[in-house]
Structure 1
């Protein structure tokens, strides 16, 4: 599977806060587990974190760990 990377338009806005991407330090995120889809752009890591938190995107997506077991996924 290959993915091409393209620079977003100069007026592209952050998916979380709506700020212009290039007024900040933009981040491109793409879910490549299912056909890669379109990229989602965030103006910086704080907006990416807030978007993930607000949409509960980490719930159920991590391995469990305890000191008595080796991690399991």
Structure 2
């Protein structure tokens, strides 16, 4: 499987807040557990973090750690 990398359009907006991504510090995210669909662009880490929290995307995806193990 391969993924094509390309630069988004200069008018590309943030998937969370709608701001133009290149007015900030853009981040590209691609869900490769679901056929590496189209990338989602966020204008900064705060919007990405807010989207992850809002959609509860970390639930069940983290390893559990215990100091006894």
TM-score by length of 1: 0.89
* Equivalent in the alignment of 1:50: 50
- Give the C-alpha shift of residue 2 in structure 1: 1.6
TM-score by length of 2: 0.94
| RMSD after superposition | 0.8
Name the structure with the higher strand share: 1
3-state SS of paired residue (2:53): helix
* Equivalent in the alignment of 2:22: 22
Q: If you compute each CA radius of gyration, which structure gives the higher value, 1 or 2?
A: 1
Q: What is the number of equivalent residue pairs in this alignment?
A: 69
